[in-house]
Amino acid sequence: MRKDRIGKYMKTNTNERLLFELLNEVYPKKWEMEAKGINGRKFRFDCANVSEKIAIEIEGGIWLGARGGHTNGIGYSNNMEKYNLAVLEGWKVLRYSPETLKKTPWKIIKDVRILCGGSPVGQKLLCFDDASTGIMQMQTKLG
């Protein structure tokens, strides 16, 4: 859990948690949620592999227009600053929509595999929504 501006604990975003579970299913114990990666700054990445300097961001609120915290002028400007500083410090930053995470998560895994010097094919990730519970299920399969 992380603290909000007044110090109260709040639940981690569902997309961030799903991303963390997805990445650690394929690459166990390599990923951190809310990882700090830019020296001297309070910026945090949704999920990061600190040893490989790979950061992944899920861009929530992209359909909210000016109402979204990260899509209004200040939020968008702050994100650009964070991403640019990360690249200057040697980070590789991948950005995805929540729809990519939920509907085609294999694209994220494929991109991570390529950044780590691996083949874009190999382990396949099957995801489906359990209609009875509305919960996203994940399974891995060697292929």
pLDDT digits (tens, 9 = 90+) for 58-100: 987 665 555 555 556 787 788 899 999 999 999 999 999 999 9
Q: Do residues 107 and 100 touch, judged by C-beta distance below 8 A?
A: yes
The yes-or-no verdict on residue 2 having pLDDT over 70 is: no
pLDDT for res 12: 59
Residue among 122, 109, 115, 86 nearest 18 (CA)? 109
Residues of the chain by 3-state class (helix, strand, coil), percent to 5 = 35, 25, 40
Of the ranges 6-10, 88-92, 110-114, which one carries the lowest mean pLDDT score?
Answer: 6-10
Mean per-residue pLDDT for 49-65? Answer: 82
Ordered domains of the chain (ranges, CATH): 2-141 (3.40.960.10)
Looking at residue 125, what is its pLDDT? 47
